Amino acid sequence: MKREFAVIGLGRFGASVCRELSAEGMDVLAIDVLESKINEFRHIASHAVIADSTDEKAMKELGIRNIDHVIVAIGDDIQASILTTLILKEFGVKKVTVKAQSNHHEKVLLKIGADQVIHPERDMGRKIAHSIISNNFLDHLELSNDHSIIEIRASKKMIGRTLVDLDIRAVYGCNVVAIKSNATNKMNISPLATDKIGPDDILIIIGADTDISKFERNLVIDD
Ligand code: ATP
């Protein structure tokens, strides 16, 4: 059975989520208060409706409670974003993902039952800053407020050395959970302490953000 999604707010972020879900063949209900946005999405999403998501009656009539996953992408109007989330959770929508504008906004959203809160601008800003500092930095995934997984390309300081030589766990408190070998193109998901790191190998590392920062400064950035 096709999964059903709704995207509320078709600004740049909501529009991009809506286009991508639709391109992947998902059933998407696009909602915005602006007629111009809805006209734009009429031929992209499965359904596109002009509605105010803070209007409980309108949301009920749209049958939003039966949708598997709703993405609230209202940006500037924090009050509307909070009220919409509240209505969706009161309706019993299983999964509600909300775009937050600030840490305070996130706190409120989590308190009222948002299942997932995202900060696309903050996260993208962080990724770009890291990749500007080092070409070896590839990706960052936030696991909690203080733990992350990062993906990096082996730096000059790592190439030809083993995990024992680098002593990453003892020195930096981080764990290398996988190494993708450039030579064999295979993913080694439980690297041994004696495995040697090759040129262009990709390492996946988990740890506390403070430990990861120390690791990045000392081992990932090439001098
Ligand atoms: P982005 O940065 O993703 O472009 P933004 O953070 O600037 O977006 P806004 O432009 O404030 O976000 O809002 C995104 C969309 O949400 C707009 O198209 C706006 O019309 C719509 N929107 C705002 N309030 C509501 C509401 N109560 N119900 C439905 N749509 C709404």
Q: Is 13 in the pocket of ligand 1 (CB under 6 A)?
A: yes
Top mutation candidate among 16, 33, 52, 122 for ligand 1, by most atoms within 8 Å of CB: 33
Q: Looking at ligand 1, which atom is closest to the CA of residue 101?
A: 6
Q: Is 120 in the pocket of ligand 1 (CB under 6 A)?
A: no
Last residue of a domain, one of 69, 88, 118: 118
Helix (H) or strand (E) holding 127: helix 120-133
- Residue numbers of the chain with a pLDDT score lower than 50: none
Cβ contacts of 187 within 8 Å, gap of 6 or more: 178, 179, 180, 181
Q: Is 10 in the pocket of ligand 1 (CB under 6 A)?
A: yes
Nearest-angstrom CA–CA distance, 97 and 104? 16
Do 84 and 159 belong to one domain? no
3-state secondary structure of 14: helix
Structure tokens at 103: 């840490």
Nearest-angstrom CA–CA distance, 93 and 69? 7
Do 25 and 114 belong to one domain? yes
Q: Are strands 202-208 and 147-153 parallel, antiparallel or unpaired?
A: antiparallel
How do residues 105-143 score in pLDDT, each as one tens digit?
Answer: 999 999 999 999 999 988 888 888 888 888 899 998 888
According to the model, what pLDDT value does residue 12 have? Answer: 95
Top mutation candidate among 74, 76, 81, 82 for ligand 1, by most atoms within 8 Å of CB: 74
Do 79 and 19 belong to one domain? yes
According to the model, what pLDDT value does residue 2 have? Answer: 65
Q: Which domain holds residue 12?
A: 4-118
Q: Is 32 in the pocket of ligand 1 (CB under 6 A)?
A: yes
Q: Is 21 in the pocket of ligand 1 (CB under 6 A)?
A: no
Do 111 and 132 belong to one domain? no
Share of the chain above pLDDT 70, in %: 99
DSSP, residue by residue, 87-124: HHHHHT-SEEEEE-SSHHHHHHHHHTT-SEEE-HHHHH
Across the strands, what pairs with 43?
A: none
Do 153 and 114 belong to one domain? no
Look at ligand 1, atom 30, and give the residue with the nearest C-alpha. 32
According to the model, what pLDDT value does residue 1 have? Answer: 57
- Residue 22: give its domain's CATH number: 3.40.50.720
pTM of the complete model: 0.79
Do 86 and 190 belong to one domain? no
Do 109 and 131 belong to one domain? no
User: Measured in angstroms, how far is the CA atom of residue 130 from the centroid of ligand 1?
Assistant: 29
- Residue 166: give its domain's CATH number: 3.30.70.1450
Do 10 and 67 belong to one domain? yes
Domain count, the chain: 2
According to the model, what pLDDT value does residue 15 have? Answer: 97
Last residue of a domain, one of 93, 118, 143: 118
Where b means 16+ CB within 10 Å and e means fewer, 152-172 reads: bbbbebbeeeebeebebeeeb
Last residue of a domain, one of 59, 90, 118: 118
Q: Which residue do the tokens 């439980």 mark?
A: 190
Do 129 and 85 belong to one domain? no
Do 20 and 104 belong to one domain? yes
Do 147 and 169 belong to one domain? yes
Q: Looking at ligand 1, which atom is closest to the CA of residue 99?
A: 6
Do 16 and 90 belong to one domain? yes
